[in-house]
Structure 1
Amino acid sequence: MDALKKTRIWTYSVIGVFFIAAVVIIINAYATTSVNDSGNVTEVSQAEPTMAPTPVPTMTPAEPDEKEAEDDDGLEEGQMRSFLSGLPVDKAMGMRRPIAVMLNNLKAAQPMCSISRADVVYEYVVEGAITRLMALFEDYEDLDKIGSVRSCREYFVYTELEFDAIYCHYGQASYAVDLLNSDYVDNLNGLGKEGDTVYYRTTDRKAPHNAYTGAEGIDAGIDMMGYRRNHYEDYKGKFKFCDLDKEVTNEEGMKITYMAPNYKINKPWFEYDEKREQYGRFQYDEPQIDELTGEQIYFDNVIFQYNKWAQLDEKDYLAFDCHSGGVIQYFTHGRMVPGIWLRDIKQAHNGNVDMCPIRYYDLEGNELEINNGKTFICVIQDTDIQNVTIRE
């Protein structure tokens, strides 16, 4: 069987799984809501998506196992499991809010600097079919060059709020202004009063591809803006990581070693490296490397997350529905299992569902465990699912 035929078989098989799942899973109970300035629950500010190709019925996630509350990993005194990677870290670092940095992903901005140090990376399409990345860093105190940094889109803010992060960006689309001005969003804006403190420009590239930040500037910016440095008291994190002495193998899933999300400009893909037991990231027809190390970037977990979306205007600005739920593909150890994503409204901080995390579930409603380590999440327009390529 030739590679193209095999690719099509895998792609159509996965779409079939999603269509079946749509009949048995319900997410309507997780309405698209938010909290306004007066504390009342309202519709979110994001525009209504234009299409929902598969009506997905309601589901109640399974109750968490009591074992989750126990610390059975034998951590050393003063340590905890990282909210971003699941790995042991000092409590002082683990309870400190991470930074979420908007990264320029145009070809002229390659290679990025310090992306290999990020624990979690998101990729979304923005206008013109280009993509932008958002990298979440827990341990960044020794980094003096992160970037290059670009501007905000509203859906990235909804995503960074899942991590209770401090959001770093250089400017913003007009559609994001109201959300950025919310009292529950803590951001460091290159165009704000803190801009010259937090960001700097290099001379090796032309603007807008030469704006960077680092630990010293970020630290000073947090002080200037008066933001809290630690997670709020009831923060629970986003991911459910497996125990430190175990691994998620996805044995029941499909063997998949090549995945391409069909982003049209950078045309990225992932390849599973059996020796490393990680996924290498490629884009622009070559391995994606980090300027800091000169080496390719790798991830332990890759998630394709499908969201409803809308085009907002003639300039091709987009909105993504980050609240209503949808389907996912989870890749680890060279295998894939399908699932769904839902907002965990029980974890809405102060009743604000914009601040509750998206969680991942299998098709029976059990929360998915993922492997400890680095995670890359491609958020994909749900109408493009038939064009995504995955193969053995």
Structure 2
Amino acid sequence: MKNLTKQQKLIMGISFAVIIIAAVILGFVLKQPKETEEVATEPEATEETVVDDGSHEGMAKSLLTGEWIDEALASSRPIAIMTENTKVNMPQYGLNSAGVIYECPVEGGITRLMAIYDDYKNLTQIGNVRSCRPYYAYIASEFDAIYVHFGQSVQGEEVLNTGIVDDLNGLGGEESVTFFRTDEHPKPHNAYTSAEGIAAGISYKGYDTAYDSSYTGHYQFAEDGAVNELASGEDCKYVSLYFFNNSPSFTYDEETHKYLRYQFGDKQIDKVDGEQVAVTNIILQNVDSSIYEGTQYLNIPLVGSGTGKYITNGKIIDITWKKDSDSGVTHYYDNDGNEIVLNQGQTWVSLIQNAYADQNVYSAEVPQ
């Protein structure tokens, strides 16, 4: 350092001073609290996914199908409509909107249907509508349904007079507001009803539209996402019933897991949606039968017990059934004595006369 010139010493001094001043300034700055601007951040854009959180707000399970529907519909009494099932009245209107369909033999070797609906608000033509038979009135009462028919047999009238079921009758004062006729077919094959007509008839008769507080439903259904596979059952992809006039059958659709309905040698089509009638469950209930003395009409007692079949998901099992009283509900049991659990969806029930039950055909393969 002694050998440095005065000029070099001056430059070095200035440099040290600059360094010291810079260090002081930097230290001061670093000690100050940092000021940050609050910035609202947008959530990162992601692809929308629908998550099933199990919420069914405003909905409830249908007592007819076990499926979720509008809670107002689920709490409202269904309607049970007598529907003709002869070739002359084809096509039928509204069957694919029904939750449950009954097919029972009547006089002359023909069958008649009763379609039970909890959601029919958009139907402007339903039927056609035909007359009551006593066992149908009892069945309608099992669902706390309002029974819609056009006339009745003598025996049917006796049951209706007991008040066991509320009804809308085409031969009653409600005819003009509930029913209408078309020119599709001649009388008596051309009487129909509609959602609007049914509402008017219910208002005319003053019926309560809510389920009775004591009513808990007719069937047990599988839980959401569960399937009753009838693991102990035999394969059943084809069912043919003995009914002489319409020769009905069902074939199993592997894709939809439904049974497609055929009769009169062709697909059974609902005129409303143009689709073939298809159901998830088939119940065959074997029953005794006789003819009311001096008439052509069938007597089919429903109180008691018997055997039958339950068919779903491409399988079939033997079942038993039991009904304790005219006002009771029919229950169905497997061979272990457990009440059967239906898969969610439409159910077709056929009353099978014991005398002809062995003429039904069940096959693991669809005939070619």
TMscore range, shorter length: 0.7 to 0.9
| 8 Å CA contact retained: 1:271, 1:281 | yes
Kindly provide the CA deviation profile for residues 277-297 of structure 1, in whole angstroms up to 9, marking residues without a partner as x: 100000000010011122211
Matched, 1:161 2:141: yes
Deviation at 1:314, TM superposition (A): 4.5
The equivalent of 1:376 in structure 2 is 348
Measure how far apart 1:78 and its partner are. 3.0
For 2:272, the aligned partner's letter is L
Whole-angstrom distance in 2 between the partners of 1:75 and 1:391? 41
- Residue type matched to 1:331 in 2? I
State the distance in 2 between where 1:241 and 1:354 align: 24
CA contact (8 A) 1:258 1:390 kept: yes
- 1:137-161 C-alpha deviation (Å, 9 max, x unpaired): 1101111100111000000011111
Question: Secondary structure of 1:282's partner?
Answer: strand
1:194 and 1:379 map into 2 onto residues whose CA distance is 30
Structure 1 residue aligned with 2:102, among 122, 125, 136? 122
> For each residue in 1:334-381, what CA deviation from the matched residue of structure 2 results, as whole angstroms up to 9, or x when unmatched?
1101111112x5xxxxxxx32321111111211110100000011110
- SS at 2:355's partner residue? helix
TM-score calculated relative to the size of structure 2: 0.83
The answer (yes or no) to whether the contact 1:164–1:355 under 8 Å persists in 2 is no
Question: Which residue does the alignment assign to 2:185?
Answer: 205
Q: Residue 57 of structure 2 corresponds to which residue in structure 1?
A: 77
Tell me how far apart the structure 2 counterparts of residues 245 and 334 of structure 1 sit (CA, whole Å).
Answer: 18
SS in 2 for 1:386: helix
- CA displacement 1:224-243 (0-9 Å, x = unmatched): 11111011101010100010
RMSD: 1.2
Counterpart position of 1:339: 319
Matched, 1:302 2:276: no
1:312 match: 292
Per the alignment, in what secondary structure is the counterpart of residue 354 of structure 1? Answer: coil
Task: List structure 1 runs of 4+ shifted beyond 4 angstroms.
Answer: none
Note closer, same or farther for the CA distance 1:314–1:257 as it changes in structure 2 (3 Å cut).
Answer: farther
Point out where structure 1 has 5 or more consecutive residues left out of the alignment. Answer: 1-72, 346-352
**Equivalent residue for 1:223?**
203
Q: Does 1:258 align with 2:238?
A: yes
Contact 1:127 1:315 in 2 (8 A): no
Amino acid in the other structure paired with 1:340: T
Gaps of 5+ in 2: 1-52
**2:80 alignment partner in structure 1:** 100
Q: CA deviation at 1:136?
A: 0.3
Match of 2:362? 390
- 1:111 corresponds to which residue? 91
Question: Number of residues paired by the alignment?
Answer: 312
Whether contact under 8 Å (1:162, 1:356) holds in the other structure is yes
Q: TM-score, normalised by structure 1?
A: 0.78
Q: 142, 145, 166: which one pairs with 1:186?
A: 166
CA contact (8 A) 2:251 2:261 kept: yes
Partner of 1:172: 152
Deviation at 1:106, TM superposition (A): 0.9
For 1:313 and 1:196, how far apart are their aligned partners in 2?
35
Distance 1:75 1:119 in 2: 23
What is the identity, as a one-letter code, of the residue corresponding to 2:352?
I
AA in 1 matched with 2:209:
R
Do structure 1's residue 277 and structure 2's residue 257 form an aligned pair? yes
Q: 2:335 aligns with which of 358, 363, 381?
A: 363
Where relative contact order (Cα < 8 A, 6+ residues apart) is larger, the structure is 1
Larger-gyration structure (1/2): 2
Q: Secondary structure in 2 aligned to 1:93? A: helix
